[in-house]
Amino acid sequence: MKPRHFITLNDLSADELRGIIQRAIELKKMRAEGKVYEPLKNKVLAMIFEKSSTRTRISFESGMIQFGGSALFLSPRDTQLGRGESIRDSARVISRMVDGIMLRTNDHETVTTFAANSNVPVINGLTDRFHPCQLLADLQTWFEQRGDIKGKRVCWIGDGNNMCQSYMNAAKQLDFTLAIACPAGYEPERELLATTASHVELFNDPPLAANNADLIVTDVWASMGQEEEQKKRKKDFANFQVNSTLMALAKPDAMFMHCLPAHRGEEVSATVLDGKQSVIWDEAENRLHAQKALLEFLMK
Ligand code: CP
Ligand code: NVA
């Protein structure tokens, strides 16, 4: 039987997605109550990181340990992947020895090729195009505080990057509106804009997008791998900071989210990031609970 993978949010149905979010909320409660629950005893998750990580690594590793299993941290530098062994061969070999594989890679295609050649579930832990695990945590954070997100207005400010594109998929899946404000030239992929057009509005002006929003989300101006563009991006994104003036255009009870790491004074002011409307610490913690729900769904 072919395993289920989680490469983008579109690998789950809307019902499955809602189920995983609700399960994440339950698992969070069970952990707070000190309940021991080990559905993945003796199971192993391999984690391949081509890029740095704090939250993704620690949440997957802790989640596996809490579930009675274990996780292997694999860097291409120390495996034959870094010496040119093909992705297909590596996927075939690794998937014969472990029960699940999580990858964080530069190219999205590395993850899709890996999944096509793996006998066990493959999870996208971030690529240049998508970061679906972060969306599970963001959605959990919304659902646990406000209920279903259907019909709400979410605003994305900044780069049309992997996080923005994951929000586009989420909008279509869970039936909310995503108003995006990007500087010209930093829009999301055209094809994705076309397939999500029913749920996405695109602006080049932050106030227009932020107007009446229930949730405002942003991310760094230069993602991992774009370090050399930092200077140019700082100029191009100068008017795209989420600050108190912009937050004031959203609904009075609007929440603010950021996947982190954040740069205070660049994409978000310290006042907003550390302010009352910000839910970034719950959002970060929920990586643990949401991914445990995902691991249980894919690997149990
Ligand atoms: N938000 C997120 O994925 O964080 P890390 O890069 O620290 O994993
Ligand atoms: N867009 C950012 C997200 C980091 C979690 C990046 O790709 O670096």
138 CA distance to ligand 1 middle (Å): 13
Atom of ligand 2 nearest to the CA of 259: 5
pTM: 0.98
Q: What is the mean pLDDT of residues 172-197?
A: 98
Residue 77: what pLDDT?
86
What is the Cα–Cα distance from 174 to 187, expressed in whole angstroms? 22
How would residue 65 be classed by pLDDT, with cut points 50, 70 and 90?
very high
Catalytic residue numbers read: 104, 131, 134, 219, 259, 287
Top mutation candidate among 57, 106, 162 for ligand 2, by most atoms within 8 Å of CB? 162
| 38: pLDDT strictly greater than 90 | yes
How would residue 55 be classed by pLDDT, with cut points 50, 70 and 90?
very high
Atom of ligand 1 nearest to the CA of 56: 8
Residue 7: what pLDDT?
98
Residue with tokens 């949730």: 215
How would residue 95 be classed by pLDDT, with cut points 50, 70 and 90?
very high
Top mutation candidate among 52, 260, 286 for ligand 1, by most atoms within 8 Å of CB? 260
What is the Cα–Cα distance from 164 to 242, expressed in whole angstroms? 15
> How many alpha carbons lie under 13 Å from residue 38 in its C-beta half-sphere?
10
Residue bearing the CA closest to ligand 2, atom 1: 223
What is the Cα–Cα distance from 222 to 270, expressed in whole angstroms? 18
Q: For 9-131+284-299, CATH number?
A: 3.40.50.1370
| 76: pLDDT strictly greater than 90 | no
| 57: pLDDT strictly greater than 90 | yes
Residue 1: what pLDDT?
80
What's the pLDDT tens digit per position in 218-257?
999 999 999 999 999 999 999 999 999 999 999 999 999 9
What is the Cα–Cα distance from 135 to 24, expressed in whole angstroms? 13
What's the pLDDT tens digit per position in 138-179?
999 999 999 999 999 999 999 999 999 999 999 999 999 999
Q: What is the mean pLDDT of residues 79-84?
A: 92
Residue 269: what pLDDT?
98
**From the CB of 25, is ligand 1 less than 6 Å away?**
no
Q: What is the mean pLDDT of residues 112-134?
A: 98
**From the CB of 163, is ligand 2 less than 6 Å away?**
yes
Residue 126: what pLDDT?
98
Closest to 238 measured CA to CA, from 157, 164, 128, 166? 157
Q: What's the 3-state SS for 58-107?
A: HHHHHHHHHCCCEEEEECHHHCHHHHCCCHHHHHHHHHHHCCEEEEECCC
| 78: pLDDT strictly greater than 90 | no
Atom of ligand 2 nearest to the CA of 219: 1
Residue with tokens 């339950």: 26
Q: What is the mean pLDDT of residues 105-115?
A: 98
178 alpha carbon, distance to own chain's centre: 16
Residue bearing the CA closest to ligand 2, atom 7: 223
Mean residue pLDDT of the chain comes to: 98
End-to-end CA distance of the chain: 15
Closest to 10 measured CA to CA, from 129, 166, 142? 166
CATH superfamily assigned to domain 134-281: Aspartate/ornithine carbamoyltransferase (3.40.50.1370)
What is the Cα–Cα distance from 48 to 287, expressed in whole angstroms? 17
How would residue 187 be classed by pLDDT, with cut points 50, 70 and 90?
very high
> How many alpha carbons lie under 13 Å from residue 201 in its C-beta half-sphere?
15
**From the CB of 259, is ligand 1 less than 6 Å away?**
yes
Q: What is the mean pLDDT of residues 273-281?
A: 98
Location of each CATH 3.40.50.1370 domain in the chain: 9-131+284-299, 134-281
Closest to 239 measured CA to CA, from 179, 158, 163? 158
